[in-house]
Amino acid sequence: MSVRNVGIIGIGSYTPPKVVTNSDLEKMVDTSDEWIVTRTGIKERRIAESDVATSDLSFEAAKMALASANLSPKDIDLIIVATVTPDMLFPATACILQDKLGAECPGFDLSAGCSGLIYALSVGAQFVANGTYNNVLVVGAEVLSKITDWQDRSTCVLFGDGASAIVLGPVERGGFRSFVLGADGSGGKLLELPAGGSRLPASYETVSQRLHYIKMNGREVFKFAVKIMGEAALEAIEKAGLTPSDIDLFIPHQANIRIIESAAERLKLSMDRVFINLDRYGNTSSASVGIALHEALLSGRIREGNRVVMVGFGAGLTWGACVLEW
């Protein structure tokens, strides 16, 4: 059986209209704009309204991606939604999205933290490469504001809401050249949402102890990210038979400017070859890389034939990277 080249044939993204600035956060917790910008690079983030769920953001991004691919919902063969903030534990947000779109295809969710989109692209690409499906809709979407503790100044300054959607399909030239995925479950406790699952089901105690919010050991996650982002990107580049000098644009997970700068230094890439938008959106988890890819394309930073490296890291602990020829 021949293996087909797989590329991106459509892309879209969506962020809620509501903007929360660092100045707004100064009124909520003991923090400052200078402190947030210096340590993270974030200036503002988008926050969904109380009645908006992950499937709603996904729907907006998916409509844009389908229009970009000149496809109708009926043309989609599979939907994969990468998220840590599903509408509910079940049914899968992918199935809710399928119904919203009017698609007629299988769908499932994938949970790999902020690495989720890279994981989902890797899985989706295999269905297209082996000929099982032609058009796979991959969505990375989060409403992190719903699981953020707005009383915890160490985490509430970091996160935002958003969605990205990518249509994968067979292409004659270019496409994905490599994928690298990894996980280290021994670091799971460093970044978690403790309650709400079968280990700690919702109870008066879990709610009163604020265990339904993100808990993060920031120092240890930072150390992990600084090490793994550069390593994963380099491994993906080498797996594609390339060197860092062959890369036209580096699109990292938008979590922290210092982590991004460290990865760029590891790859010996000047910052003008790195795409950054975390100053406007903060960390949108699995939506992050896709939103950045879409904005890079819209702003003319990516042209036909360009080689792009995307890399993410997140809860699990997980990491993922890929090389894409546009």
Q: What is the pLDDT of residues 47-96, one digit of tens each?
A: 999 999 999 999 999 999 999 999 999 999 999 999 999 999 999 999 99
Same domain, 28 and 119: yes
Active-site residue flag, 114 = yes
What distance in Å separates the CA atoms of residue 251 and residue 65, rounded to the nearest whole number?
A: 19
* HSE-CB for 240 with a 13 A CA cutoff: 28
Same domain? 193 vs 101: no
139, 194: one domain:
no
Q: What is the average per-residue pLDDT within 146-162? A: 97
State the average pLDDT over residues 248-255. Answer: 98
CATH number at residue 119: 3.40.47.10
Whether 1 is covered by a domain: the verdict is: no
Q: How many independent structural domains does the chain possess?
A: 2
The answer to whether residue 179 scores a pLDDT higher than 90 is: yes
One domain, residues 166 and 195:
no
Residues 79 and 204 in one domain: no
Same domain, 62 and 149: yes
Residues 144 and 52 in one domain: yes
Within this chain, do residues 275 and 251 fall inside the same structural domain, yes or no?
yes
**pLDDT for the residue 82:** 98
Distance of alpha carbon 62 from alpha carbon 167, whole angstroms: 9
156 and 249 share one domain: no
Selected catalytic residue, list 156, 283, 294, 322: 283
Residue where one domain finishes, among candidates 146, 173, 200:
173
Q: What's the rounded Cα separation, in Å, for the pair 3 and 61?
A: 29
Indicate whether 25 and 156 sit together in one domain: yes
Q: Final residue of a domain: which of 173, 198, 219?
A: 173
Helix H or strand E segment including 218: helix 218-239
The yes-or-no verdict on residue 21 having pLDDT over 80 is yes
Last residue of a domain, one of 173, 208, 229: 173
Same structural domain, 168 and 232: no
Q: Does a cis peptide bond (omega within 30 degrees of 0) precede residue 25?
A: no
pTM (whole model) above 0.85: yes
pLDDT greater than 80 at residue 319? yes
Q: Which are the contacts of 216, defined by CB distance < 8 A and separation ≥ 6?
A: 154, 155, 190, 191, 192
Active-site residue (options: 253, 256, 294, 322): 253
User: What's the pLDDT at 194?
Assistant: 98
Structural domain of 137: 6-173
Q: Using one digit for the tens of pLDDT, what is the confidence trace for 88-109?
A: 999 999 999 999 999 999 999 9
**In the prediction, which pLDDT does 1 show?**
62
In the block, residue with structure tokens 């700690």: 200
How many helices and strands in the chain, by DSSP H and E?
Answer: 11, 13
Q: Which helix (H) or strand (E) holds 320?
A: strand 318-325
Own/partner pairs, 17-26, CB within 8 angstroms, 24+ separation: 17/46, 18/46, 18/47, 18/48, 18/49, 19/44, 19/45, 19/46, 19/47, 20/44, 20/45, 20/46, 20/47, 20/160, 22/157, 25/156, 25/157
Check 95, 114, 156, 322 and give the catalytic one: 114
The residue assigned the tokens 């080689």 is 307
Those residues with Cβ within 8 angstroms of residue 27's Cβ, 6 or more apart along the chain or in another chain:
none
Residue 2 has what pLDDT? 81
Amino acid (1-letter code) at residue 138:
V
State residue 286 phi and psi, 5-degree precision. -70, -15
283 is catalytic: yes
